[in-house]
Chains A and B, each alone.
Chain A
Amino acid sequence: MLIQAIITGLLLGGIYAVYSAGFSLIFGVMGVVNIAHGDLVMLGAFTSYWLFTLGHIDPFLSIPFSALTLFIVGYGIQRLIINRVVEAPPIMSYICTFGIHLIIANLALRLWTADYRSITTSYCGSHLECAGLVIPYARLATFGMAVVMVGGLYLFLNRTDIGRAIRATAQDREMARLMGVRANHVYAMTFGIGAAITGVAGSLISSYFVIYPQMGLSYTVTAFCVVVLGGMGYIPGALLGGLILGVLESLTATYWNAGMSSALTFFILFLMLIFMPAGITGKGIVE
């Protein structure tokens, strides 16, 4: 049972890692704590949901669509709104993203009602059984995607020109500007990419979790926790943080009480911030 719980936790943690990586990227580059982050997960999930329900497209195949949709949404949000407050005191961007959260979550509520929805694929019941352990294929595939996405984001930031521009801007906006980087565009790209990868997480989530318009805030909170565990702004840390949190939650749910697992999340978050603000890796940004 212990091993089963750990495996379930790792598989869950992979998903956490993906959208938390998006959160971490946005914080690392712009210092924006994106409270609307979970709503981007929700939008990604609903993109896949509708493509599946209306177009019979498998959620794994709809990943590119939700990535693209969310990229556009993210790019637009940054370009139109957040770029205007990025230089202002940080509170402005927090509140601004909270406003965006209200808009997205409640628009979704208006459009799609408060119903809980889920996708039932042909393979959703099938799983791998070995040595008494049960591993659903969908979750395994999801986990694989998750690792690929986080790794891909890391390589993207380190190996491509736009990735380097993003990192340069994160380090020193003025310097990057002098070197010909258009900060506004780079910021919008960053938010777009962060949103796109989060949209992918949403698609993955839609393949085996219930989704509903108000689901966002709790995902945002998980992202806080994951990112603080792994180190704010440090992308590979999101993977580590995601896996740790996934396992911890799974263990709490198995051995104690499912209700306690979110209380535990906050407790960990609180303790981490106080004792290890730079995360377990020690590589997080601490002002």
Chain B
Amino acid sequence: MNVGNWRVDLEPRLTSPKWLYAAVPIGSLFCAFIVGGVFLAFTGHSPIGTFALLIDRGFTSTRGITNTLGTATPLICTGLAAAFAFRMNLFNIGEEGQMYLGMIGSAWAGIALAGYLPGFAAVPVVLLTGACTGALWVLVPAVLRAKMGTSEIVSTLLLNYVALNLVNYFIFGSRGFFRDPTTSFPQGRVIEASARLSSFGSTRTYPTVIIAVGLAVGLYWFMKRSNYGYETSVLADSPNTARYAGMNATKLTLSVLLFSGALAGLAGAMYVVGPAGKVDPGLLQVGFGYAGIVVAALARYNFMAVVLTAILFAGLREGGASLQISTNPVPISIAVVLQGAVLLFALGGEVFRRNRLRVRRVQQTVGA
């Protein structure tokens, strides 16, 4: 591109310096806020004031940060689910559906099993059941992919719609097991009290957040150190090399997809043992599954970064939502605009991580 006497080029970087990995996301965030600020100014709001409020209600006030952590909890799980599969080049985009199934499975365990279990075992069993049903929901796509190479993208996506209809059917379409028989308004049957966790104090943060963060740390460490992590990284990098080394690609593929489904299922189960306590169609509105994919992508499939990104996302959402009830109400769409801007700038920032911007004076060359 030529600008007057200057020539502007993007040149591929041979190596990306380490600081860029941190600078690019921070720069993206900054740019996103500038775009959001312009948007706010045009709609007659004070950018600085609004952002200060947003940050306060999303991150810095006690109320804000605890709300945010509560929202981030399932988002961390779906983010981990996506990151775990995507880094293996297995594009499980069915976290949404697997999460619904996790909700259904854990609610079943909470209703049918929890009463027979000793108190300390109820919550773990309910969570595990949710993880298992999430994994079960990805079983067919996983087998098709591992054995026959059928694209998991389409099959996992389609199952999201099946799962969505399944939840709607259980609550609105039938008077079955999951429906609360005592109310005429359709809603889920509440699980046993022993299978529920109470939040910290009067906040909306549940102890499950510790599990979610622990999972991220554990996965990070396990995949770095273990033979399983090693073999999956070889297979992801080069299937021929995995075959040469005698690795069992079918088993590895299957296990990765199933575990990814289990993590997404766990997100649904955490929702059940925490705030919901039942099969709650409210979960269908939030889109934690799809948001998890975005979180994973922004975190570049790094498990630790998933935690931070999920908290950032949850905070923007919480803060954005509470702006509606301020003195000069700002529509929720501002939070949506911000999220979109963060996303766009983060993706755009990648260009600068991979390439170097070079500006040169154009010289009159003899030959050209």
The finding on whether chains A and B are genuine partners in a shared complex, rather than unrelated, reads no
